Amino acid sequence: MRNDSIDSVSARAGRDALPGSQSVRRALDLLSMVAGWDRVGGLSLAELASESGLSKPTVHRLLSELVSTGYLEQADDRRYLLGPEAYTVGNAAERRHGLQQQALSSVVRLAQVSEDAAFISVRRGTHSVCVHREEGTWPIRSHVLQAGDRYPLGVGAHGMALLAALPPQVASSVMAANAPELAQRYPELTPNRLLEQAERTRRRGGIAVNEGMVVPESWAIGIAVLDSHGEPALALSIAAISSRMGPDRQARLAILLKEEAARLAPTLRTESSAL
């Protein structure tokens, strides 16, 4: 499976939860898994059971509840997709927190000026989730990252920017939690390698560069934007084919990203302080 499984931290939380809340945690984990795969056709009962580590009867019971309440629905091929209630809740959350809406003008400018695809990504526990992709006008594009895609923190320029913005001790804890998933899905991206790259990103002023870590010819550059608590609220990034990511152009794109991050940060800090 291309998208990533639920956070190992979340899975442990589900196992350690009180009996009354364990089912809720498990149902929400399943909902998050389906959300990550909704764009490419959803997930089957067997896939959800395999990824969650739960028995098929347990998964089927939880999915039935999510379907009956409208958070999920089943396609004709019996795969599970997001339902209308999930859209309603997501839309309400967007109005409440507004990260995507606040950053939209920044990512549009980045795509227009760079002519390449630009992205907004947010941190979700030990992972990053791309919430918006803005296409540029350059005819040859990188298609690796799409809205809804979920990766372990540190994977990709957006994920590395978010990881590097965390305190080193927290970043190490994230890597420890993600180690099994990294070993399975990205064996060349060891926790130590990603932590070393996070340190290099900090020394570059928060500019993260993905030199084809996920797909060899797809490069990217990104930066995290902090909220009023100094936490990474989101990441802005630009992706292009490797031939468009030489050192000189990286330097120009880094300037663009820093300008947009500086423009966006006060807005995020104002909103965060008001919550």
How many domains in the chain?
Answer: 2
Question: What's the whole-number mean pLDDT along residues 29-45?
Answer: 84
Residues 53 and 71 in one domain: yes
Q: Is pLDDT of 151 > 60?
A: yes
What pLDDT, in 10s, does the model give residues 128-137?
988 889 999 9
119-145: b (≥16 Cβ within 10 Å) or e: bbbbbbbbbbbbbbbbebeeeebbebb
Domain range enclosing 153: 98-274
Distance between CA atoms of residues 224 and 206, nearest Å: 7
Q: Tokens for 14, please give them.
A: 């589900």
| Percentage of the chain modeled with pLDDT above 90 | 57
Euclidean distance between CA atoms 273 and 275, whole angstroms? 6
Per-residue confidence (pLDDT) for residue 33, from 0 to 100: 86
- The pLDDT of residue 189 is above 60: yes
pLDDT in tens, 159-182: 999 999 999 999 999 999 999 999
73: left (phi over 0), alpha (psi -120 to 50) or beta: beta
Q: What pLDDT, in 10s, does the model give residues 94-104?
A: 554 556 677 88
pLDDT of the residue at 134: 93
Is 2 domain-assigned? Answer: no
What pLDDT digit, counting tens, does each position of 220-265 carry?
999 999 988 888 989 999 999 999 999 999 999 999 999 999 999 8
66, 107: one domain: no
Domain endpoint, select from 31, 60, 90: 90
Please check the confidence at residue 144 and state whether its pLDDT lies above 90: no
Question: Do residue 65 and residue 113 come from a single domain?
Answer: no
pLDDT of residue 188: 94
State how far Cα 11 lies from the chain centre. 18
Do 62 and 139 lie in one domain? The reply is: no
Asked, for residue 130, whether it belongs to a domain, the answer is yes
User: Does residue 13 have a pLDDT over 50?
Assistant: no
Query: Within a domain: residue 3?
Result: no
CATH number at residue 135: 3.30.450.40
Q: Are residues 198 and 239 in the same domain?
A: yes
* pLDDT computed for residue 156 by the predictor: 95
Confidence of residue 42 (pLDDT cuts 50, 70, 90): confident
Q: Give yes or no: residues 86 and 48 share one domain.
A: yes
- Whether 71 and 171 map to the same domain: the answer is no
User: Is residue 267 included in any domain, yes or no?
Assistant: yes
CA separation (Å) from 101 to 118, 132, 179, 239?
Answer: 15, 10, 33, 21
Q: What mean pLDDT is reported for the chain? A: 86
142 shares a domain with 37: no
Q: How confident is the model at residue 93 (pLDDT cuts 50, 70, 90)?
A: low
Residue 58, domain CATH:
1.10.10.10
Query: How sure is the predictor about 14, in pLDDT bands with cuts at 50, 70 and 90?
Result: very low
